[in-house]
Structure 1
Amino acid sequence: MSGPGGRAEEFADAALRLVARGGLQAVSVRTVAAEAGWSPGALQKVFTTKEDLLRAAVDLMDRRVRERQHTTAPTGDPVEDLAALVEETLPLDARRRQEALVWTAFALEGARAPWIADVLRAQDATVTADVAPLVGEDVARAVTALADGFAVRLLYDPAAAGAARTALRTALRAVLTGLAPG
């Protein structure tokens, strides 16, 4: 049996799976406990509110993405280095697809729930702060917006992954050089 920290991650991971399959409305004490293989009472001992559970879930997802990004080896080519960071956020495999579905669900709900908007803005600020030393703050924001757009498109058209990777590099090259693509 896992300790409280491990159990919290189990519940957060279960919430992520549920959000990916059915959106935020799929998350309840009962559904998350069942998905994690625990009783509702066990979940309530770890998370007293649904908001606490959802915050833990999005934090877990963010941590996983950032861990992957930190394992990408810099090549010295700014376009390739940024593309590698962005690709860790794109739905190019089952894990990243789940994350993109969760992020999209949170983004949609963030339009109505201030606490979710706050969480997403904090994540955006962290990403901008990580990327800004490489390319500047405005370009970091542009790269984030570019990544968001590619992620949404790949959710509804996963077959376009190859074309999206090429277009990502073309767009990054244009943003970094300030030139329109040729």
Structure 2
Amino acid sequence: MVKRPDPAERREEIADAVLRVIRRDGVGAASVRTVADEAGMSTGSLRHFFGTQSELLLFAMELVTRRVYERIGRIEFTGDPRTDVRILAEQFVPLDDDRRGEMDVWQAFVVAAQTDPALGEVRDRTDREMYEGFLRATTALDAAGLLTAGASAEVEAMRLHALVDGLAAHGVNHPHRMGADRIHAVLDAHLDALLVGGGSAR
């Protein structure tokens, strides 16, 4: 007997097709028809899983977010404050092909979210969760007495969040100017200024 495809796996395969289309041709090209072609299926078959382009984009956007969280969940943090903050920040910048692909399509989703309320909700929730993650990190640094005198954990979380967003955008849009080495250099310069004595040794 031929095994029927698992519906959840099939939905994820379709979402991967959405991501490929967006990265190659832009979010406007990710119609039900073009995604069906990319996934090697008929539009009728695809509509059994997603009825509209908005549903397709929403699921794909959620998938990108979930994969980032899953990657972070697999990290074995070191317990060294400076190292661990740097590792966390590195998950949101284009240091390799996987993260570059995530940043490429995320930028496209952010543009689409301006006119799609459902995508806007995912954008806003993800942004809030990123900030909360950075706030937990800077609060832990503050509790350990590692922030420079007068620094606010809340303000430093905002600064780190803004820095990471900027590095992600520059890394995607200007990869020859802002490659992995320069991204690392900027993160290290920021941590040198943020932490007492520059934090732990690199």
Scaled by the length of structure 2, what TM-score is found?
0.79
Following TM superposition, by how much is the alpha carbon of 1:21 offset from its aligned partner in structure 2, in angstroms?
1.4
**1:32–1:74 CA distance, 2 compared to 1 (3 A):** same
Q: 1:140 aligns with which of 157, 168, 176?
A: 157
Q: May I ask how many residue pairs the two structures share in their alignment? A: 178
Match status 1:170 vs 2:189:
yes
- 1:69-95 deviation digits (Å, cap 9, x = unpaired): 122222223232122122122112221
1:83 is aligned to 86
1:51 is aligned to 54
Q: 2:134 aligns with which of 126, 131, 149?
A: 131
Following TM superposition, by how much is the alpha carbon of 1:141 offset from its aligned partner in structure 2, in angstroms?
3.3
Higher alpha-carbon deviation: 118-127 or 73-82: 73-82
- 1:71-121 deviation digits (Å, cap 9, x = unpaired): 222222323212212212211222111111111111223334333222111
The structure with the largest helix share of the pair is: 1
8 Å contact from structure 2 (residues 85, 137) kept in 1: no
Match status 1:38 vs 2:27:
no
Corresponding letter in the other structure for 2:191: L
2:121 is aligned to 118
1:6 is aligned to 9
Higher alpha-carbon deviation: 43-52 or 73-82: 73-82
CA RMSD, Structure 1 to Structure 2 (Å): 2.0
**1:176–1:52 CA distance, 2 compared to 1 (3 A):** farther
8 Å contact from structure 1 (residues 91, 155) kept in 2: yes
**1:51–1:173 CA distance, 2 compared to 1 (3 A):** farther
1:158 is aligned to 175
The whole-number CA distance in structure 2 between the counterparts of 1:44 and 1:14 is: 14
Which of these two proteins has the greater Rg computed from alpha carbons? 2
8 Å contact from structure 1 (residues 139, 176) kept in 2: no
**Structure 2 unaligned runs (5+)?**
140-153
Scaled by the length of structure 1, what TM-score is found?
0.87
**Structure 1 unaligned runs (5+)?**
none
The whole-number CA distance in structure 1 between the counterparts of 2:26 and 2:6 is: 28
8 Å contact from structure 2 (residues 82, 191) kept in 1: yes
The whole-number CA distance in structure 2 between the counterparts of 1:73 and 1:12 is: 28
